[in-house]
Amino acid sequence: MSLDKFRKFKDRFLELEKLLADPAIIADQAQYQKLAKEYSSITPTANAFDDYAGCLSQIEDLKKMLQEKHDADFEELAKSELKEMELKSLACLERLQYLTNPQNQEADKDLIVEIRAGTGGGEASLFAADLYRMYTKYADKKGWKVEAMGSHESEAGGFKEVVFSVSGKGAAKYLKWESGTHRVQRVPTTEASGRIHTSAATVAVLFEPEEVDIEINPNDVRIDVFRSSGPGGQSVNTTDSAVRLTHIPTGMVVVCQDERSQLKNKAKAFRVLRARLMDKMKQDSLDKASQDRKLKIGSGDRSEKIRTYNFPDRRITDHRIGFTTYQLANVMDGDLDEMTEALLKAEYEESLAQ
């Protein structure tokens, strides 16, 4: 395989080396930290590029040597060395492909997950709460850390919206599939006739950037403070601790009122805003390159109906891969491994086919 596909990573590595030695960059600590972080992340790829290039060079030299006339012992030794080098080059190529795969680069990133009630009124808000419970129990089983970022409760006892962060090794790898519309079919507790209703909730899984990854101009954000409120609008705090951020260029609004401290709510709100802005940039980029992508698995399309939870039949179906399991109770209790392993397998098979 040609090196051209990977050369841009090596070129960027060399460019970063020069930039980090530039006194003007060193004087700008924010810029320096951003470039230093990129340099650190790209170093394994640059090293893998050098290893693979070295293998290809040695293979080329050995092939040229074998075209010349040599004694039988030398020729046998050269052929043996060529075979070993070809195997080593395949291993180097596999590592290089892994390191340059964007999906693998995101595997251990922290996440912000947003769940919103969709069609179905109070029943949809109850389902949103069920999904929140499912993800938090799954995170607990995996040893991931969950932090509440903000929520808006409904009068029915569920959530109109709930936002939380998840951090831990492998969290992104297993939760990235969850973006999209989740549909539920069940008999609501308020339904006296026993009729099955269909409701929905949407899930957005956002990769959480660090401050150096995305800069927000303070002049682009309007900050409002107010007293936090519970279901029905009743005040639950006597101080103006709740924070609303409005990002003027995009119209994005983030509200955080879970903490009693205004500073803590403001910090959390900015974390959510950064994640949403980064996700918007990613979505815009994907839309522009849509003809070049796209694995139907984990495309992240919020409007896509990805899964149906049928309570009467104890059945869950993932529509992207046609996978069905009848372990609904276990899944809702946080046992998502069967589902996620099926999605991982489907993604791998589809990437090979492409």
* Domains identified in the chain and CATH numbers: 4-100 (no CATH), 107-209+292-353 (3.30.70.1660), 218-288 (3.30.160.20)
| Inter-CA distances, 165 with 79, 168, 210, 314, 336, Å | 55, 10, 13, 29, 18
- Residue 243 pLDDT more than 60? yes
Instruction: Kindly state the tokens that stand for 176.
Output: 């990235």
What are the pLDDT digits (tens) for 12-28? 999 999 999 999 989 98
Residues whose CB falls within 8 Å of the CB of residue 110, separated by 6 or more in sequence, listed in order: 165, 166, 167, 171, 172, 207, 208
| Inter-CA distances, 12 with 19, 63, 78, 96, 98, Å | 10, 31, 36, 15, 18
211 or 340, which is more confident: 340
Can you tell me the distance from the alpha carbon of 354 to that of 296, in angstroms, rounded to the nearest whole number? 12
Task: State the pLDDT confidence band at 105, using cuts at 50, 70 and 90.
Answer: low
- How many residues in the chain? 354
Strand partners, 221: 247
4 or 336, which is more confident: 336
What's the mean pLDDT when you consider all of the chain?
85
- Residue 1 pLDDT more than 70? no
Q: What is the pLDDT of residue 214?
A: 77
Q: Indicate the Cα dihedral angle 172, 176, 179, 182, nearest 10°.
A: -100
Q: What is the pLDDT of residue 348?
A: 75
- Residue 151 pLDDT more than 70? yes
What are the pLDDT digits (tens) for 263-310? 999 999 999 999 999 888 877 655 554 444 444 454 445 567 899 999
